[in-house]
Chains A and B, each alone.
Chain A
Amino acid sequence: MPGSKLLTLPHDKDSEADLWIKAATVLAVLAVIALCAMIVVAALPALFSQTHTPFEWVWQPYHGHFGILPMCASSLLLALSALIIAFPWALGIVIWHLTEEEPALSWARKAFGLFIRLLTTVPTVVLSFAAVFLLTPLLRTAFGGTGMCLLGATLMVSLLILPTMVLVMESGLAQPLERLCPQGLALGLSRYQLLCHCLLPQSRTTLLQAAVLGFGRACGDTLLPLMLAGNAPRLPLHLTDSTRTLSAHMALVTANEVGGAAYNSLFAAGLFLLGTTLCVTLALRRLARAKSSGSTV
């Protein structure tokens, strides 16, 4: 009927939430807002500082240079190079895990799921610790120098983001594949052919989700670059160069400096990192929405 309005139900007190539940929700949301607001406000003086701007390529606190651009670049570079290694690796693992048809290996397929799940929770500090005493000496013998370099951090960060990416890919691909299977197998296609020829070309969103999430994780990790990359505050031009990421920079500055422009640059670094991961989060949400609305698979 044109013009008719749906009646709103009268307010129902009995179906309202307990006070503590409401308070908890408000608290949780406020905490997030406070976190973001506080970092932004703290970073403002640095962003608009005329004398000690963080937007330069030199970090020499004793000569009045507080540039964090090399660290920004190094963070992005590390994340990207880790992604380049981890993405195809994760894809290979997922393809294997979803399509292994050899009955003799079905136990391996089952065990592998749990194995990946466990890998997501290996403490990064343990990973870094093992790498410092195992990988770094290897790199030292191979390339000379200290062995603390972008390459070492890249390798370990790619290992760190690998299980998460595998889980994301699998959660997006496993169900559609099972749905395709009866009919696809009845045509004489193998699971591998179904996955690689039918499903993967349709699953760009899932793959992108995995990549974006991996990128976010790689950007945010602190311990691996801090302990493995050598922490020289300059732009790495080579994989064997020592470098310092934003996260490592923040850990180092809070540990060593007290007050002044160094602190200010710390907040600028925090803001940049927060901004990056915020973009990642928003991109992931958009991808998830695109998937739930647009896909027919």
Chain B
Amino acid sequence: MKRLLPWLIRLAPLLLVAVCAILLVFLLQQGLGSLSPTLLFGNVPPLQAILGKAPVWEGLWPACAGTFCLVLLTQALALLPGLGCGIYLAEYASPKKAATISLAMDILAGTPSIVMGLFGFTLIVCLRQSFLPNANTSLLLSAACLSLLVLPVIVSSCCEALRALPRDLRITALALGLKKRTVVTRILLPQASQGLAAGLILALARSAEDTAVIMLTGAVANAGLPAGLWDKFEALPFAIYYTAGEYQNAQDLTRGFGAALLLLLLSILLVLIAHVLERRYLRQRQGTHAAGCSR
């Protein structure tokens, strides 16, 4: 028994690695062959597809473009509130206010994405019944709900990045007679930029992969390239979900695997970048992990 125990304990991580390896190999085996321009553009010449001159029916390009727009829009919507709230939490909030803000962020972080989606859905239903009878689920609504989803990620990483800065920096700058807001925006924020970037990239990854929110707020299977803020759109995760249930032939299925592989690689890449940035940032600051910024 004594001899066996270390080996029994080693079984647990081995099992996990094995399961993940099986899933990954399966995905690669099914999807790797399809990774080519055809996967994205079908039979349409890539340049024309990218410029939007020819519609793509047999490729993932509209879904990719949709996800791209969605992610950018989400980031644009969430950036200022997220940074502002993170700065306030780290630099200005009294303990009481900090408790309120972190409670709000904790609640938001714990809320399932489908509930965020429901929130967006409810919003549209309300608008339609009141003063915007033509309102419908759309790209903008999805992005708004997603920005709610990534808000806690941005807030907590912004707060953590600021708190990892040395205390001396703050005191020195204040002792020079600078106003606190100047210190924060001109000295602390640039110093913390690498940590901030890590948080933003994490938020990017989070908004790119979420499916439940966009399912309820405007993603559809055949919308073509995203036409505008008020239109329905295609997205990569939704395309994957849709393929699993509605595929017609082997070609559809292969495209589904290609899409899954693409999304997987994308989020792994983003998270790796964020990880490296964060490690570098914390090592530079020799920062112990700052406490108090809940995640």
For residue A273, CB closer than 8 A to chain B, the reply is yes
* Stretch binding the partner chain, chosen from A176-184, A236-244, A246-254: A246-254
For residue A57, CB closer than 8 A to chain B, the reply is no
Give the residue among B81, B92, B208 with the most A Cβ atoms within 10 A: B81
B12 touches A121 (CB 8 A): no
How far, in Å, is A141 (CB) from chain B's closest CB? Answer: 16
For residue A187, CB closer than 8 A to chain B, the reply is no
Give CA–CA (A254, B12) in the complex, Å: 40
Residues of A within 8 A of B151 (CB): 28, 31
Q: Could you say which of B16, B115, B155 contacts A274, with CB atoms under 8 Å apart? A: B115
B110 touches A277 (CB 8 A): yes
For residue A24, CB closer than 8 A to chain B, the reply is yes
A133 touches B271 (CB 8 A): no
Give CA–CA (A250, B211) in the complex, Å: 13
B216 touches A254 (CB 8 A): yes
B211 touches A42 (CB 8 A): no
Residues of B within 8 A of A159 (CB): 19
Q: Could you say which of A126, A192, A277 contacts B263, with CB atoms under 8 Å apart? A: A126
A126 touches B27 (CB 8 A): yes
Quick one: given A28-B81, A92-B11, A129-B240, are A285 and B115 in contact (CB under 8 Å)? no
For residue B95, CB closer than 8 A to chain A, the reply is no
Residues of A within 8 A of B82 (CB): 24, 28
Residues of B within 8 A of A62 (CB): none
Quick one: given A93-B13, A126-B27, are A35 and B121 in contact (CB under 8 Å)? no
Residues of B within 8 A of A126 (CB): 27, 209, 240, 260, 263-264
Give CA–CA (A229, B237) in the complex, Å: 19
Give CA–CA (A5, B241) in the complex, Å: 64
For residue A270, CB closer than 8 A to chain B, the reply is yes
For residue A143, CB closer than 8 A to chain B, the reply is no
The bracket for how many chain B residues form the interface is 35 or more
Residues of A within 8 A of B136 (CB): none
B16 touches A93 (CB 8 A): yes
For residue A232, CB closer than 8 A to chain B, the reply is no
Give residues of chain B (189-209) contacting chain A, Cβ–Cβ below 8 Å. 205-206, 208-209
Quick one: given A221-B112, A281-B107, are A125 and B263 in contact (CB under 8 Å)? yes
How far, in Å, is A279 (CB) from chain B's closest CB? Answer: 10
Give the residue among A29, A99, A119 with the most B Cβ atoms within 10 A: A29
B112 touches A222 (CB 8 A): yes
Quick one: given A29-B101, A159-B19, are A247 and B112 in contact (CB under 8 Å)? yes
For residue A204, CB closer than 8 A to chain B, the reply is no
For residue A22, CB closer than 8 A to chain B, the reply is yes
A29 touches B9 (CB 8 A): no
A281 touches B122 (CB 8 A): no
A23 touches B16 (CB 8 A): no
Q: Could you say which of A97, A100, A219, A285 contacts B106, with CB atoms under 8 Å apart? A: A285
B113 touches A121 (CB 8 A): no
B91 touches A125 (CB 8 A): no
A95 touches B9 (CB 8 A): yes
Give residues of chain B (78-128) contacting chain A, Cβ–Cβ below 8 Å. 80-85, 87-89, 91-93, 100-101, 103-119, 121-123, 125-126
* Stretch binding the partner chain, chosen from B43-51, B52-60, B177-185: B177-185
Quick one: given A89-B12, A134-B26, are A223 and B179 in contact (CB under 8 Å)? no
Quick one: given A24-B80, A35-B148, A222-B114, are A251 and B30 in contact (CB under 8 Å)? no
A250 touches B118 (CB 8 A): yes
How far, in Å, is A102 (CB) from chain B's closest CB? Answer: 8
How far, in Å, is B216 (CB) from chain A's closest CB? Answer: 5
Residues of B within 8 A of A17 (CB): 87-88, 91-92, 181, 184
For residue B226, CB closer than 8 A to chain A, the reply is no
Give CA–CA (A48, B63) in the complex, Å: 41
Residues of B within 8 A of A278 (CB): 107, 110
Give CA–CA (A254, B19) in the complex, Å: 34
Give CA–CA (A17, B97) in the complex, Å: 13
Give residues of chain A (122-136) contacting chain B, Cβ–Cβ below 8 Å. 122-134
Q: Could you say which of B103, B110, B263 contacts A216, with CB atoms under 8 Å apart? A: B110
For residue A15, CB closer than 8 A to chain B, the reply is yes
| Given A25-B84, A123-B264; 20 other pairs, CB 8 A cutoff | A18-B184, A24-B81, A27-B84, A89-B16, A100-B10, A118-B271, A121-B206, A121-B209, A121-B268, A121-B271, A125-B260, A126-B260, A130-B27, A219-B112, A222-B112, A223-B211, A227-B244, A247-B112, A251-B114, A284-B106
- Give me the interface of B with A, judged by CB distance under 8 Å: 5-6, 9-13, 15-17, 19-20, 22-23, 26-27, 30, 80-85, 87-89, 91-93, 100-101, 103-119, 121-123, 125-126, 148, 151, 155, 179-181, 184-185, 205-206, 208-209, 211-212, 215-216, 237, 240-241, 243-245, 253, 256-257, 260, 263-264, 267-268, 270-272, 275, 294
Top 4 A-B residue pairs of the complex, sorted by shortest distance between their CB atoms: A24-B84, A220-B112, A92-B12, A123-B209
12 intermolecular pairs with C-beta atoms under 8 Å apart: A16-B181, A17-B88, A20-B80, A23-B84, A28-B82, A42-B125, A89-B15, A192-B9, A220-B114, A227-B241, A273-B115, A274-B115
